[in-house]
Amino acid sequence: MKVHSIIIALSIFVCSITTGCATVQTGNGGQPDTSINPSIEKALQGFRSLPELQPYFADAQAIVIISNNFRAGTGFGGAVGKGWLIENNVATADVWHWQVLVGADLGFQIYRQILFLKDDAAVEFFKNEPLQFAGQANATALLWGKGVTPSYNDGVALFTLVQGGLLLEASVGMHSYHVFPY
């Protein structure tokens, strides 16, 4: 019964985070606005301030920003987040990120992710192949400040900015990005 109560409380918390995420502004006819939404711009600020990421911003064909991810685990865990696909400085799709983890993990973490898609092939792969497997190790203490974790794979560079939490992790899992075009 106690585990059931924890799952319900975690579900309510995750729902409150994801429902608070902004959506892309639309103009006449339901078309996306041609400028970047202020919520998207705010999500990008932390990454744009990092000098080591400037070459990625310059070279990327498209960017995926997941503004609020919430990860939790107690032996097994998961994460959920919502963001946007940005092509030619225009948000063209909503993106949902789901992650399922198995291994030694305990705690929770709140973080942002950015994916730089280098070329057209990487953009098409991202739009059409939602599942990827990953192994990772992670240690987060409440707001240790800037924490950037790079990983690369076939034209995709992934960076994470930890916003806070308390998480120890050594796990194997599956990342899933689902793209919903406008």
pLDDT, tens digit (0-9, with 9 covering 90-100), for 55-72: 899 999 999 999 989 988
User: Using an 8 Å Cβ cutoff, are 117 and 123 in contact?
Assistant: yes
Domain holding 126, by residue range, is 2-23+34-181
What is the token pair recorded at 24? Answer: 């892309």
Helix, strand and coil percent figures for the chain, each rounded to 5 = 25, 55, 20
pTM score above 0.85: no
pLDDT, tens digit (0-9, with 9 covering 90-100), for 75-119: 788 999 999 999 998 999 999 999 888 877 788 888 899 999 999
**12 φ, ψ to 5°?**
-65, -40
**Of 166 and 3, the one with more pLDDT:** 166
Q: Give the Cα separation of 103 and 117 in Å (integer).
A: 29
At 134, the pLDDT band (50, 70, 90 cuts) reads low
Q: Which residues contact 32 (CB under 8 A, 6 or more apart)?
A: 24, 25, 26, 90, 91, 92, 182
User: Is 28 part of any domain?
Assistant: no
User: Is 80 part of any domain?
Assistant: yes
At 151, the pLDDT band (50, 70, 90 cuts) reads low
Q: Give the Cα separation of 24 and 34 in Å (integer).
A: 10
User: Is 29 part of any domain?
Assistant: no
Counting the structural domains of the chain, the total is 1
User: Is 91 part of any domain?
Assistant: yes
- In 3D, which of 115, 161, 152 has the Cα closest to residue 134? 152
Residue with tokens 């106690």: 2
At 120, the pLDDT band (50, 70, 90 cuts) reads very high
User: Is 118 part of any domain?
Assistant: yes
User: Is 59 part of any domain?
Assistant: yes
User: Is 57 part of any domain?
Assistant: yes
